[in-house]
Chains A and B, each alone.
Chain A
Amino acid sequence: MTQVIISPAKANSMYWLGRYTERVYLELHLLRICFDFMIDGKPEEYNRYLASIGNTFLYPDLAAIRSGLVHDKNNPVSVLACVEMANDNAILLRDEIMSPTLGYIQMSLEYLRHAAAESKEPDLDELQKLTDWMLAFWGSIEERVYDERVKNFLRLGKLIEHLDMNIRFSYKFYRIEEAFTSLLKCYDFEPRAFSGDALEDLKKLITEQEYDPRDPVYVNKVLLLLGKVVIL
């Protein structure tokens, strides 16, 4: 449907739905890399990944780490916890995003809940389904949602999460720059959704000269600003 105006609560749900779906997509991508490091048993490599993703949970062995990062609903960085959060927001937006779009989140949730209940070892091949469903979710948004404001709030969440994760994982500057340029387009579309001060500070920090993802002070400063720049 094309809605005339959007309530603050719905705009907030759109933003967080965008964030959590992007988080799920990127986590799956990064977990594949992390699991790959585990094959060779290089703790310094996968520990760096665990720290970057924000994991604070301790697991007794590699199998438990693998399982925990996917199926442990109590661990806020697990894929299941992120899909639960995406669903909590999506379910409030059925009238905006339509049932078939919501269906991709529901399928992901059901898949993970069943797998967690059966204590299944995460299967990277099977988890590709979730990646496909996240991509299908975004495709379905493009296909079924005509209201540009709705798309913009979803995209806003997606871009903030994309920047957040890319900076945490020290992606190259050109990747950050691309996402930040897209974020500025969202600003042009709806400047009232932004904190002008936080955006100005971000502009100063996200430059080729300033970009230093290996410096924890820099990373924390940028992540903090990313958390503040959208005011919904």
Chain B
Amino acid sequence: MQSLIKNRDSVNRWMERYGVRFGVYKNGVFNEQLFPFDSIPRIIEKEDWKVLEKGLIQRVKALNAFLWDIYHDKHIIADGVVPEEFVYASKGYMPECEKVDPTGKVYSHISGIDLVEGKDGRWFILEDNLRIPSGASYPMIAREITRKVSPITFVENHVADNRDYATILKEMMDDMNGGRGINVILTPGRYNSAFFEHSYLAEKTGAVLAFPGDMTVEDDIVWYTGLFNEKIRVGAIYRRISDEYLDPLAFESSSLLGVPNLFQAYKKGTVAVINGFGNGVADDKGIYYFVPKMIRYYLDEEPILHNAPTYLPYFKEDYDYILENISRLVIKDVSEAGGYGVVFGRDLSLEKLSELKELIIHQPRRWIAQEVIDFKDLEILESNEKVERKADLRAFVVSSGKDVKVWKSGLTRFSRNPDSFVVNSSQGGGFKDTWIMD
């Protein structure tokens, strides 16, 4: 490990060389920056990983079952497990997806599940990301580089090899594709914050990196169009564009990013769209509360992994509790993502707290409240000194029609601000490799 720490400048030089960046818009100006990498890895012991792996598979299976149910028979609503207003009022619910059968019945092919480890060693799920979770490429390339820069570190430590993510992804894409055509990764373009990831995953999976305008739909078949009017059929699209912008004829008509009539082809089942349409209803911060109930309902199992203790103002008991304890809770706006819309009660003045209470009283469905988890801090290097910072873990779960696999790694993000719990890269966070010990 010392060798890895000693060589951290070399690691960063390699990151720079490979263009490992993410884009941010500040005051309307696009800038690309290096994603700060910290050489000290997060280490997860084999036994702990076994539990996490089982729990993650269980959770994602339940979430996929929920999505199928919600867009088909809605048993979970009829049986009173999830109140219907949580489904239909969710911004992520898409009525257009009713009775649509995605290939292999899979909605969330790539699930990014965010967890934190408490100081007592227990893991808590913070949120599920089932639409276009990003971040796998960073630990992928970090491992490739660190193995090169400090081979001795990996001789001395028995770390599970994480360089198989592209293989897992490709196998899933091939399975969803079913030999109908080529695999593509659809990017909104180079000014998207995650463009590095889109292009890197295309390189590593052998998929074609497609840009807006590269695909057309004719007679419900999707084609990738080339020079001189050449075209080739597309069998699977790993899209990195949100639902609403993916088909201007079905959704946001002003979108220039999408493929006209793609949704029609998806409905006909002639192309797999990865992740499927309409997943937002299941990773809504309000629906999160019900995931343990889903696991019991669909799988008849007890949840292996736990949610952070969460309260919904929708329920009277929780409503009273939140208003009484708001100053020590973390309040989240269900419609926000990326670390935005998260407020710690303890950071607010009395005036701001009462404004927030008013908002909760008037729009109870818009908010959830959680106990502040005392995360286990992780060591990072700052100016050659080890300091402790808050960190989370995004685990990647890949579901095909055949199986559900958890990638033996993950993106550990940390806050560089000693007083902050927000780890998002867009808000200045950095990342670490995640070692699963063999």
**Which residues of chain A have a CB within 8 Å of any CB of chain B?**
1, 3-9, 11, 91-92, 94-95, 98-100, 102-103, 106-107, 110, 192-193, 232
Residues of A within 8 A of B214 (CB): 7, 9
Contacting pair A9 B211 (CB below 8 A): yes
In the assembled complex, 24 residue pairs joining A and B whose CB atoms fall closer than 8 Å, in A order, are A3-B208, A4-B182, A4-B226, A5-B224, A5-B232, A6-B226, A7-B210, A9-B214, A11-B227, A91-B199, A92-B199, A94-B19, A94-B199, A94-B209, A95-B202, A95-B207, A95-B209, A99-B19, A99-B141, A99-B203, A102-B18, A103-B17, A103-B18, A110-B16
**Which B residues between 205 and 237 are near A, CB-CB below 8 angstroms?**
206-211, 213-214, 224-228, 230-232
Given A106-B16, A110-B16, do A7 and B225 touch, yes or no (CB 8 Å)? yes
Q: Which residues of chain A come closer than 8 Å to B203, judged between CB atoms?
A: 1, 94-95, 98-99
Per the bound structure, the CA–CA distance linking A189 and B15 in Å amounts to 37
Query: Hey, which chain A residues are within 8 Å of B209, CB to CB?
Result: 92, 94-95
Residues of A near B231 (CB, < 8 A) are 5
B384-397 CB contact bits vs A (8 Å, 1 = yes)?
00000000000000
With both beta carbons as reference points, the residue of chain A lying nearest to B203 in the complex is identified as: A95
Question: Nearest chain A CB to B371's CB is how many angstroms away?
Answer: 43
List chain A residues, Cβ under 8 A from B138.
none
Q: Are A91 and B211 in contact (CB-based, < 8 A)? A: no
Q: Is there a chain A Cβ closer than 8 Å to B93's Cβ?
A: no
Would you give the shortest CB distance from A95 to chain B, in whole angstroms?
Answer: 4
A1–B206 CA distance with the chains assembled, in angstroms:
6
CB distance from B166 to the nearest CB of A (A): 12
The interface residues of chain B, by DSSP majority, are classed as mixed
A6 to B213, CA, bound (A): 13
Nearest chain-B residue to A92 (Cβ)? B190
* Residue in A95, A99, A232 whose Cβ sees the most chain B Cβ within 10 Å: A95
Cβ-defined contact, B208 with A95, below 8 A: yes
The residue of chain A having its C-beta at the shortest distance from the C-beta of B230 within the complex is A5
Point out residues on B near A: beta carbons under 8 Å: 16-19, 141, 182, 190, 195, 199-200, 202-203, 206-211, 213-214, 224-228, 230-232
Q: How far is the CA of A7 from the CA of B141 in the complex (A)?
A: 27
Interface of A is mostly: helix
B227 touches which of A5, A99, A106 (Cβ 8 Å): A5
Residues of B within 8 A of A110 (CB): 16-17
- Assuming A4-B226, A7-B226, A9-B213, what are 16 further A-B pairs, CB within 8 angstroms? A3-B208, A5-B225, A5-B230, A7-B211, A8-B226, A9-B214, A92-B190, A94-B199, A95-B202, A98-B203, A99-B18, A99-B19, A102-B18, A106-B19, A107-B17, A232-B227
Task: Assess whether B226 is in contact with A106, with CB atoms less than 8 Å apart.
Answer: no
Shortest distance from the beta carbon of A166 to any chain B beta carbon, whole Å: 28
Query: Nearest Cβ distance between residue B190 and chain A, in whole angstroms?
Result: 6
Inside 8 A of B230's CB, which chain A residues have their CB? 5
Closest to A100 in B: B18
B225 partner residues in chain A, CB cutoff 8 A = 5, 7
Once the chains are docked, how many angstroms separate the CA of A193 from the CA of B190? 26
Question: 6 smallest A-B Cβ distances: which pairs?
Answer: A5-B226, A95-B202, A94-B199, A103-B17, A95-B209, A95-B203
Chain B residues closer than 8 Å to A193, beta-carbon distance: 227
CB-CB < 8 A to A7: which residues of B? 210-211, 214, 224-227
CA distance A107 to B195 in the complex (A): 19
The distance in angstroms between the C-alpha atoms of A63 and B203, with both chains bound, is 43
Residues in B whose Cβ lies below 8 Å from that of A6: 226-227
Task: Identify the closest chain B residue to A98 (Cβ).
Answer: B203
A95 partner, pick from B16, B19, B199, B232, beta carbons under 8 A: B199
B-chain residues with CB within 8 Å of residue A11 when the two chains form the complex: 227
CB closest chain-B residue, reference A153: B227
Residues of chain A within 8 A (CB-CB) of B19 are: 91, 94, 99, 102-103, 106
With both beta carbons as reference points, the residue of chain A lying nearest to B212 in the complex is identified as: A9
B438 CB, min distance to chain A CBs, angstroms: 27
> Could you tell me the distance between the alpha carbons of A99 and B148 in the complex, rounded to whole angstroms?
15
CA distance A137 to B394 in the complex (A): 35
Tell me the complex Cα distance, A99–B227, Å. Answer: 24
Q: Are A4 and B232 in contact (CB under 8 A)?
A: yes
Report Cα–Cα, A99/B199, bound state, in Å.
9
CB contacts (< 8 Å) of B141 on chain A: these are: 99
Of A9, A106, A192, the residue contacting B17 (CB under 8 A) is A106
Which residues in A have their C-beta under 8 angstroms from that of B195?
91
Q: How far is the CA of A126 from the CA of B18 in the complex (A)?
A: 21
Residues of A within 8 A of B211 (CB): 7, 9, 92
Q: How far is the CA of A110 from the CA of B17 in the complex (A)?
A: 8
In this complex, what residue of B is CB-closest to A99? B18
* Interfacial chain B residues near A107, Cβ < 8 Å: 16-17
| Interfacial chain B residues near A106, Cβ < 8 Å | 16-19
A107, B226: Cα distance in complex, Å: 31
- Which A residues lie within 8 Å of B202 (CB)? 94-95
> Which residue of the partner chain, among A1, A92, A99, A100, contacts B200 with CB atoms under 8 Å?
A99
Q: How far is it, in angstroms, between the C-alpha of A110 and the C-alpha of B207 when the chains are bound?
A: 28
Q: How far apart are A13's CB and chain B's nearest CB, in angstroms?
A: 10
